[in-house]
Structure 1
């Protein structure tokens, strides 16, 4: 960045003088030798009161005009500094457009992000969660640190965002912050959301994420196979606490209810239909979407087992999530399951191994899971498609081993 290449000067457009001899004041912006742009500064000065690119005299009007011209020059240099810090080849026309926008209240990235978070806070508990709010605050902090680390800037104009900025931010998160691919995806999605809001409000018109594709983490099977589930159900554990954790995990495996919703279940959520089927009816804490689940024999047995152990009107006595995951890792070792085991895998297991793999329609599974969009459930369906594909290949190998065809 070399601001000696930038020159801002002012002159009168004498050809448009009015009847009183007042001429429009024009600004001329030069960057280097070949990039030039001119624009009106929306002021008029008598030709007799103009000298050396400024209003002459010591009147209050002259001082106000000159102060405004100084502010325009300072804004032009600041915009050029922001843009050239991010990329080369900044043109005078680009600075002009941003300058005219800034005069009308042009937003900066972090300034707008702060306002976004402030509006988000007001919706927490209504249509947004505290966890999502923390995630946006975390994303803000990462961008703030990135601007200081990469450009030595405390903020940046929205128009300075382009594909180069996004690529540098991605690289910073991967190398300087050493974050996992999934975390980087989450952070860039949060930035996309804020940028999308700014585009919807007409603050910016160019989408800086065009063509950007973050590095995706290696696909990991999140659901338990039938064999792994069998081991958890039948392997002796020898400790009461581990049996308790196993039962909570299996309850989620056979209902699809995640930890946050399971710990909130009360006796009011349990009801019996006319045909004798017991149901759990509740709403997702995360999305407020209602769900209804008919209970299979195993989760009914677990509810009966802990009927007198749950506090108050709760259906189940539940440990904190971190303790559950710690005990599940011990259970995985005992059951010879050679991959990390966390509680949320139970929900994936219900969707994939318990329901979709056994022919339960996608729409039914979506309703039981409490998904607001069926596209979310299709994530599990894709896993099932992969499983069917591998199972079909295994079947094909067995058939080829048993039968031969003479051609």
Structure 2
């Protein structure tokens, strides 16, 4: 086989094509996943097959089953990491098929084990403490404001970073809306700006310019924000492991589903490709279930009579 038809060479080419599209229709934050996946694949070939690379036409179902076992049992990686790593290998194989580098799907019959979905939202009490606890550091206040803004709009980190003034529109009734497409899926979404996010916008307006293509916020690096959020969480006595993506979970849970917003509307505002993704948030939202049952109890009060002794 030629060099172009070996697995690692092909995978590296795929990663390079992704890198070249960063800033156009791909996010820089995703690129490190390609490096992690490549290193694991390279290590697997050396340890288990004793080779530097393998021809694409030698891939088969036992290969990926052995790779799954290697990542899960020998490397002891978390289920979320395994899904991410294997997904890129499957993507490489799909590309190879489309480009006629191989003539059949070598992993036909393989079904990756999906990890259990865990809601990573703050509790209502934690969210209130995050918003209301005074912070002395201006930089920490700014980062907290970015998190709160994302929690009230459902924006992901990359979408917040790319948010420009042209993406904020004013309706006839004077209400302000964010109207843009998710960078990750290119799915368009619209979300109304409520009082708190409007105040945050006004607080920092003009710092980065007000031209239609200027960013609304000067968003710092993901690493710097993540580190700062952990310091802020400790100061606010928050025990939940907080990352910026937790803000998106807060939007779905604390700001929408727990307050009775229909799941169809939440799905549209979050830019989900299908409602099944949004249902993962609703399925474990006990607070919403509790509120629904409380309302049901009120509606049923007095409608039925029950006698303990029917004799």
Q: TM-score range by the shorter chain?
A: 0.7 to 0.9
- Aligned match of 1:226 in 121, 124, 145? 124
For 1:127 and 1:234, how far apart are their aligned partners in 2?
A: 37
User: In structure 2, the residue corresponding to 1:221 is in which secondary structure?
Assistant: coil
Aligned to 1:286: 184
Paired residue total:
296
Q: Deviations over 1:39-67 (max 9, x none)?
A: xxxxxxxxxxxxxxxxxxxxxxxxxxxxx
SS at 1:263 equivalent? helix
CA distance in 2, matches of 1:139, 1:223: 28
1:303 aligns with 2:204: no
Rounded to whole Å, the distance in 2 between the matches of 1:361 and 1:324 is 31
Shift of 1:199: 4.2
- Runs of 5+ consecutive residues of structure 2 not aligned to the other structure: 298-305
Structure 2 residue aligned with 1:348: 249
Moved more, 196-205 or 338-347: 196-205
1:203 alignment partner, one of 71, 77, 102? 102
Q: CA deviation at 1:147?
A: 1.1
Change (3 A) 1:302 1:113: closer
Higher relative contact order, structure no. (Cα contacts within 8 Å, ≥ 6 residues apart): 2
The separation in 1 between residues aligned to 2:23 and 2:147, in whole angstroms, is 28
- Corresponding residue for 1:36? none
Rounded to whole Å, the distance in 2 between the matches of 1:195 and 1:125 is 25
Q: CA deviation at 1:393?
A: 10
Measure, in 2, the Cα distance between the counterparts of 1:324 and 1:111. Answer: 35
Measure, in 2, the Cα distance between the counterparts of 1:368 and 1:119. 31
Counterpart contact for 2:5–2:101, Cα < 8 Å: no
Task: Report the Cα offset of residue 221 of structure 1.
Answer: 2.2
Following TM superposition, the consecutive aligned residue runs of length 4 or more in structure 1 with deviations greater than 6 angstroms are none
Separation in structure 1 between the aligned mates of residue 161 and residue 14 of structure 2, nearest angstrom? 32
Q: 1:344: how far off? A: 1.2
- 2:269 corresponds to which of 365, 368, 371: 368
C-alpha distance after superposition, 1:275-324 (max 9, x if no partner):
0101223333334443322110111111222235x232343343332222
Distance of aligned partners of 1:212 and 1:286 in 2 relative to their CA distance in 1, 3 Å threshold: closer
Candidates 379, 386, 389, aligned match of 2:277: 379
Look up the match of 1:38: none
| Structure with a larger share of its residues in strand | 1
Give the counterpart of 1:338 among 239, 245, 254. 239
Q: TM-score normalized by structure 1?
A: 0.61
Partners of 1:304 and 1:349 lie apart in 2 by 22
Aligned residue in 1 for 2:46: 148
Which structure's CA Rg is the greater one? 1
Q: Given that residues 352 and 380 in structure 1 are in contact (C-alpha distance below 8 angstroms), is that contact kept between their aligned partners in structure 2?
A: no
